[in-house]
């Protein structure tokens, strides 16, 4: 299994990021077919902790890197990728990782 880890930096307007991501990007990205799993979440901190470099994370899973490449080359994948600059004003990092389940 391969994971595409998407790390979002802190946006200039967090409320606008949240609204756009939920109302526009997720529905657009849901048009991509073939994902095995998809999770999203806000990075949490305790009061007084230093601000982490990322505010939001998305995890997308497929069986192989080749499947990801086909998915992202599809019209739906290209539309989702092209949409990222519309809301990710704090920058974004994409990392592929090979997953090994331990527990």
pLDDT tens-digit map of 19-73: 999 999 999 999 999 999 999 999 999 899 999 999 999 999 999 999 999 999 9
What does the pLDDT read at residue 101?
Answer: 87
Counting the structural domains of the chain, the total is 1
pTM of the model: 0.91
Question: Exposure string (b/e) for 4-31, b if CB count within 10 Å is 16 or more?
Answer: bebbbebbeeeeebeebbeeebeeebee
Q: Is residue 100 part of a domain?
A: yes
Q: Is residue 24 part of a domain?
A: yes
Q: What domain range includes position 101?
A: 12-48+71-103
All residues at 6 or more sequence positions from 65 whose CB lies less than 8 Å from its CB, including other chains: 2, 96
Q: Is residue 43 part of a domain?
A: yes
């Amino acid at each position: 299994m391969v994971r595409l880890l998407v790390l979002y930096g802190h946006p200039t307007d967090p409320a606008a990021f949240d609204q756009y991501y939920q109302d526009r990007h997720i529905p657009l990205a849901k048009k991509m077919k073939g994902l095995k799993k998809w999770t999203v979440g806000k990075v949490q901190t305790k009061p007084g902790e230093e601000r982490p470099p990322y505010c939001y994370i998305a995890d997308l899973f497929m069986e192989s890197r080749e499947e990801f490449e086909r998915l992202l080359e599809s019209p739906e994948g290209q539309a989702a990728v092209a949409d990222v600059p519309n809301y990710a004003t704090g920058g974004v990092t994409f990392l592929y990782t090979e997953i090994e389940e331990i527990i």
